[in-house]
Structure formats: structure tokens, C-alpha cells
Structure 1
Amino acid sequence: MGNMVLKSIISDPAPPPPMVLVPPLFDFPPLAARTRMVESSYNMLFGKLALKCLFDDYFEEARHFSTRIMLKPIDDPHVDLIATVDGPLNQKPDEKLGGSAQFRWQSDVLDPHTFADISVSNSEPTLVVRSCAYYPKLGFGAFGIFPILLKQRKSPEDYGIMGLRYGSSNLSVGATFVPFPASADELPKNAWLVSKMGRLTAGVQYEPAFGSKDGARYKNLANWSCAVGYGLGSDSPLSPSFNFGLELAKNSQVKNPFEPKEVVGITNYIDFGFELLTRIDDTQQANNIDDSSFQIGASWQANKNFLIKGKVGPLSSSIALAFKSWWKPSFTLSVSAVRDRSKRETALGLGIQVENIREGIYQRADPNFVMLTPSKEHLAEGIQWKIGERPLFESDVTSGNFNGVPKELRPLNKML
């Protein structure tokens, strides 16, 4: 009687295929984009939001610190809370810490344009309520900003500001006004018109500050601002872009060594900007550095954890380093150094931020899309990768297919 021998053949799993990591951006979308509907579109376009992120974010004030906590409950993503505390590192008896808190309710989790929030702080105004209602199908919206608690109301703006707007993919027009103006000449408080034609964007804004009677406010060019911008590329951060903006304002003034060997590359985010401010109405003050100034800034996010920024101006230079840990909630620590060349002094600033409002873990690649780097991930699900362990996204974004891209990285083409 023969013996039967059963042999089992165990083969080693195939090595992980090469892949390119696309890490999440440190802060995207910008927090200012959540409240864009209570602002003039003129003040948000022409690269102004990008310039603010480049030249302001993570550059803490010299010898000061700032902390910010941004939390969203898991059970109700329609609401969130932002609390901030800031002040000098070496506090003097006559100085005090600044603190504020904002509670926000958003109608649609994916659409921030209809919301209401309430803000409290230990400075003026103490309590402010903001609200906005926008109807995407019609393109119309209304909004209001109302200071509830103030020690003293000196101007009509202290009683609140209301506004109406219309927005589409190629046009934005709107106006703001105070509900209790001192005179009819103060209407409107602000009005804007911005239009986009292909890659060209042009806009004009009216803000009365000079003249008072007989239509003098409208005739005075100092009350008007105009701008023109030209942009190449998509407004998704995954696509390289080039933007140029020129404004006449009414008040002129790589391979990552820390990743596993199967990671053949990682997307880096590089931002570079140049801003020039100069007067055109008074040539005698052209040599005054306050009236004619410039600054150059650059930012490099090497991976999902490290960001370095720097900017150079005529009087000072600054550099900032930020580290972000993508826990839930995420934790960000930033340190900045400011060099004042006139005083020949260098000072440090410190920033701390805790947040779970903006999600940073992106979906894995969908095998139905064209991959930038060939991948067999869909054939080895649960073996080669663990969900959520490493942010990964590869898609044919260069062809304009953003259907599988997380909402934070999709182009905002529904509204100008």
C-alpha cells in the first residue's frame, strides 16, 4: 500500500509595484475660502488669496506666539469650532493675551457657501454674527455681518453690513451696504464687478472714501480700483499653474529618502511669488520705502510632514519651518525667524495648531483611471497596502479628469 504525500507550494508575494506618492497639502482649501461669500470677489481673485497664503501663513510675529484649535465633531460634520490664543512670548504687565472662538454651522458638508457663524473675542467687537445663503442653481446669494456687542458704536458700519451677489463661472457682481446709513450718499458701501474671458480675468471695485455731494464720490478716481489677471493651468493644486495680476488700487501701497524603496517618487508642492507696491499719484514720495516696496516669497512642501517658506523684503527677511503630524486631529508646529536689517536684530515666533476640519488622507487610486505610474494595487488589496497608512493618489489629472480627485483638490469651476 503506497503512501500519499501532499505537498503545498507557498510562493512569496510579488514585490510591491513602484508608485508615486501625492501627499496632502498642509492647509487646503484655505480657511479664507470658507467665508468667501461674505467678501467681495474682487478681494479674493487676481492671486490675492494665493499671495496671502504665501506671504502670511506660518510667518509668526516676532517675539510672539499663536495657537489655534480647529475641531469638527464626528457625529455632525455640519458644525465646527475654531479657538485661538496669541500674545507676546515675554508678556509685560500692560500687555494681555488675545483670545477668540468661532462656532460655525454649514448647510452642506461639501458646499461652504451657505453657513452661519458666531464669533466671540476679548477685543472689539466682542460678539459678531455672520450669515450667508447662496443658491447655486440661480447663482444668487445674500449675506450679512452684524456686530452684536460693542462698547461704543461710532459709525454706521458698527450696526452691521448686508450684501447681495450673483456668481457664475464667468461673472461675479455684487454690492454691500449698511442697513442704517447716515445719508443716502453712503450707498453702496462697496460694489464690484469681475468677469472672466478664457484665461483673462478683469474686475473693478468701488469703495467710497472721498467726496460727499453731487455725485463726487463716483467721479473721484480714488474711490475706484481695477485689476486684470492672466492665468494658465487648472485651479487644482495638482496641476502646475502660472498667474499674473496687475492692480490699480484706490489706496496704493523630488526623491524622498524617508520613504520605502518601492516609492519611486513623491510629489512636491512649490510656490513662488513676487509682489510690487508703488504709488503713482505723488512722485515726490517715490523714494519713501513705505510708498514703494516689494517682496519675494517661496514655499516648498517636501512631503506630507514638512514645509519650509521664506520671504525677502527691503527692510526684513523671514524664514519659517512647519512640521505637521496627520493624527486625528492633526497637529502642526511652526517656528519662524525674522531678521530686521535696519535694527540688525533677529527674533523668533512660535505657532501651534490642532485641527480636524480639513481632511488630509486621500483615497487610493481607482484602477479604472489611467495611472501616472503603472500600479497593481487593485490586484493585491489588503496585502501590499493598508488603508489610511499612506496617502496615495494617482490619476490622469493632466487630461482634466478630476472625477476621482478628493473634493479639496478639484478645480472650483462652478463659480468665479
Structure 2
Amino acid sequence: MGNWLNKAEPPPPVVLVPPLFDFPPLAARTRMLESSYNMVFGKLALKCLFEDYFEAARHFNTIIMLKPIDDPHVDLMATVSGPLDHKPEESVAGNAMFRWQSDVDDPHTFMDLFVSNNDPYGLFPPSFGMRSSAYYPRYGVGAFGILPLLLKKRVSAEDYGIMGLRYGSEKLSAGVTIMPLAIKDELPKSAWLVSKLGRLTVGVQYEPQYGSKDDGKFKNLLNWSCAVGYGVGSSSPLSPSFNFGLELAKSSQVFLFSIFLFNSLIGLKFIASFYQHVVVQRKVKNPLEENEVVGITNYIDFGFELQTRMDDTKISNNIPDSSFQVAASWQANKNFLLKLGPLSSSIALALKSWWKPSFTFSISATRDRISGTTAYGFGLRVENLREASYERADPNFVMLTPNKEHLAEGIAWEIGKRPPMLQSDVNAGNFDSLPKELRPQGRIL
């Protein structure tokens, strides 16, 4: 009789935790082929913030990333891009990559075959080639290589392939790359050393491009880059993060904006960068959701980069001696992403449908301040590499001050009804209960 009179307790209120649009970023899949110096100090996050979904004006970009259901160790990624209006000087560019990965959840040991007609990696002319990486986490050592198999023309030693060795742990990363067929005084191609001391990260990289053997390439400052960064937080999207970096590097590479493209002269440049990932929570009243859903998690990213020349070399009037770019993004839910691009002259909107495979459509607008015109670019992505869905967390999973809707006692919940994620676990660095898309990218510096 008493059981009949007792009313069923209402389910505890929960908070929706959507997945990020692109986490982990695709660049993380091939990070073992890249110098750690080029990945830390917030560089990977800033690259994604400044470039993702900002398509070139009057251009389209299509990316297809698929893997078979029966064998998750292999996948295929293809891209096609080109101008919206036919131009004789521009052609449609395409490339494809077939990848085999040893561990589905660990992208550090893999092999892929790529074919392209437009130099997809900035290393070789149109070609067919192979890339491979092997990493042994028990010892922290790894080896990798990039081998172009078919080339129309081989001009330099780099066209015959690149090999590298590396060591990586949570606190230290060191490595070297060589070109096996290079002459003796061109070795190594690059070398790096990065160390993490608490929240401080310091690193140095050597790339011998200037001077001769007799002049002493090691003494030429143009061949060296050094950086220091201060970071707080993990690489999990559920944890807020903060990263500030200072770098002194050579300025021979190309400055690339969403609006301008110009070359700089050889010299030294000083780079100051900042990136912050913020996790906030807002109330939600969605008639399509259950009554116990009281909030939703949002992701806000902001970053800027300032580059200033450190030498007295005279440059032409149309090339400034410093550059500044800033961008921000806001992901309101699992389907909507808004980004403001560098110099506040570009905007991008992306809409994602989490079907299997998922579809992402994006449109970007770039304002030309000189002519006063606006040009548009379009992008389409089809993917089933990363499977993600909404997760439900208890109301204690908040980064803001709790209100009256966050009074449920998570410890008193019944077994089987308790949400899978707790804020205390995330703060303690325990990500085992999270989907792999919401975990940090790895415990390797």
C-alpha cells in the first residue's frame, strides 16, 4: 500500500555536453610527422582557429573522409577545391589519401598512400607517395618517413624523401629529420628540443637554410627559432584552456591572411600569440528535449597573433613590417558554429548534421575594404571518422556559478541512472569515462 502511494521520483536534471565540430583536429592525426616545436605553444589551436571553414573568396572546398564499417583501421580522405567561376589560370585541385592505422584510438602508428595534383603538403610537386610513422609509447621513441614514389621531376635531395627520429614524453620532446640523399653539409634538415616545466614550455628548433658549411650554419641566427609559452588546462574540450606564447623566428616564410597574401624578406621576426578556450553553460528550453534537460554547454575560442620584423631591412611600401590577426568562434550546440576571422573582415558559418556519415556545410564571407565588395566561399565535408553525440552530465558539471536548477545531489543518484561525466573527474584529469572525441589528444608533448 505504501509503495502504491509513493510517487516516482522525477529524474535528476542534466546538462547537455555537445561534441566539438572537429575534435581531435585532423592535423593531430599526422602530428608524429611534424616537429613538436611546430605543434605546441598553441600553434595547432591557432591554425585551426584562423583557417578552418574560412574558404578562399569565390572558391569551393569539398572534403570526404570515410572508413568502412567492417575495418575501422583503414580510412580514405579526399579533397577537391577550385574556383566557383572558370578561370584559365586556375584549375580544380584534388588529392586523396588512403590510411592504415595500427590502433583505432591511437593515431601515432600509421601508414598512408597519397596522390595529388597540387602538392597537398607543401613538400613535393604533384606526386604519388607514402608516409609512415611508428611510435613505441613504452620507450617514448618513434621513427617516421615521407617518401615520394612517383614524381614528374626530382630537383633537390628533398624530392627523394625525408626520414626522422623522435623521442616524446609528457615533459620532453626531441627529434631530428634528415634527407638520406643530401650532401654531407646539408645534414640535418631540422632538429628540435621542447621541454615542459610545469605550466611553462620552452623550445628551440634548428633549420639550416642560410649560409654555407664554411660560414658556420650553426652560428647563423636565421637558422634558429626559439619560443616560450605559458599554458593552463588540458587539451580536452571539456576543460577551459589558456595559452600565451612568445617566439623569435626567421621571417622567410609567407605571411598568410584570409584577405592578403604576400612574401616577406629574409630576416628575424618576433611573434606574440594568445589562445583561450572557454567552456560556458547557458539555460535551455527546448521542447524537443526531455524535461530534465536544464542547460547546455557552449564552447568559445579566441586567439590573436602579432608578427613584427626585428631587422632594419628596407621593404617595399606595399608590404608592412608587422602583421596582426585575430579570430573568435562560438559553438552554440552540436549543429551550429560561428567564426569571426582575422582583421574582423571575414565571417564563417558552419552547420553540421551528425548523421552517419556526418555532413558539414559552411559559407564564409570576406570583405575587401579597398573595393568595398564582399566575396563568398563555400565548403562541404562528409565524414564518419569521428563518431560523437550529445553527452549528459550532472548539473554539478558547470563552469559558472550554480543556480537553483543545479541542486540535484549526484552522489545520491541510483546506480544505472547516474550520468557518465562528473566535473570532479575532469578536473582530476580522469577522462576514462568520456568518449574518445572528448578526451585530450594524448599524453605526449
TM superposition score normalised by structure 1: 0.88
Going from structure 1 to structure 2, the CA distance change for 1:268 and 1:371 (only over 3 Å counts) comes to: closer
2:143 is matched with 142
Going from structure 1 to structure 2, the CA distance change for 1:38 and 1:413 (only over 3 Å counts) comes to: closer
> Are 1:317 and 2:312 an aligned pair?
no
SS at match of 1:267: strand
Contact 1:299-1:308 within 8 A present in 2 as well: yes
Equivalent AA in structure 2 for residue 276 of structure 1: L
| 1:69 Cα deviation after fit | 0.7
1:197 is matched with 197
Distance 1:247 1:164 in 2: 24
| 1:226 Cα deviation after fit | 0.4
Equivalent AA in structure 1 for residue 188 of structure 2: P
| 1:377 Cα deviation after fit | 7.5
Distance 2:158 2:127 in 1: 15
Q: For residues 222-241 of structure 1, what are the structure 2 equivalents within 5 Å?
A: 222-241=222-241
Deviations 1:84-138 (A, max 9, x none): 1111111234532111111000001111100000011123332120001111001
Contact 1:278-1:286 within 8 A present in 2 as well: no
1:66 is matched with 61
Correspondent of 1:353 among 376, 381, 397: 381
Equivalent AA in structure 1 for residue 154 of structure 2: R
Q: For residues 44-59 of structure 1, what are the structure 2 equivalents within 5 Å?
A: 44-59=39-54
Going from structure 1 to structure 2, the CA distance change for 1:351 and 1:257 (only over 3 Å counts) comes to: farther
**Which range moved further: 329-338 or 290-299?**
290-299
| Structure 2 portions without partners, runs of 5+ | 119-124, 252-267, 270-281, 399-405
1:341 is matched with 369
Distance 1:118 1:168 in 2: 28
| Structure 1 portions without partners, runs of 5+ | 1-7, 386-390
Name the Cα RMSD after superposition: 2.7
Distance 2:414 2:389 in 1: 19
| 1:393 Cα deviation after fit | 4.5
TM superposition score normalised by structure 2: 0.83
Contact 2:14-2:392 within 8 A present in 1 as well: no
Correspondent of 1:21 among 11, 16, 25: 16
Going from structure 1 to structure 2, the CA distance change for 1:379 and 1:414 (only over 3 Å counts) comes to: closer
| 1:400 Cα deviation after fit | 3.0
Equivalent AA in structure 2 for residue 133 of structure 1: A
Distance 1:9 1:201 in 2: 63
SS at match of 2:309: coil
| 1:27 Cα deviation after fit | 0.2
| 1:312 Cα deviation after fit | 3.4
Distance 1:338 1:14 in 2: 54
Distance 1:23 1:364 in 2: 9
Contact 1:23-1:392 within 8 A present in 2 as well: no
SS at match of 1:229: strand
**Which range moved further: 371-380 or 121-130?**
371-380
Aligned residue pairs total 397
> Are 1:408 and 2:437 an aligned pair?
yes
Going from structure 1 to structure 2, the CA distance change for 1:149 and 1:256 (only over 3 Å counts) comes to: farther
Percent identity between the aligned chains?
66
> Are 1:40 and 2:35 an aligned pair?
yes
> Are 1:131 and 2:160 an aligned pair?
no
2:279 is matched with none
SS at match of 2:238: coil
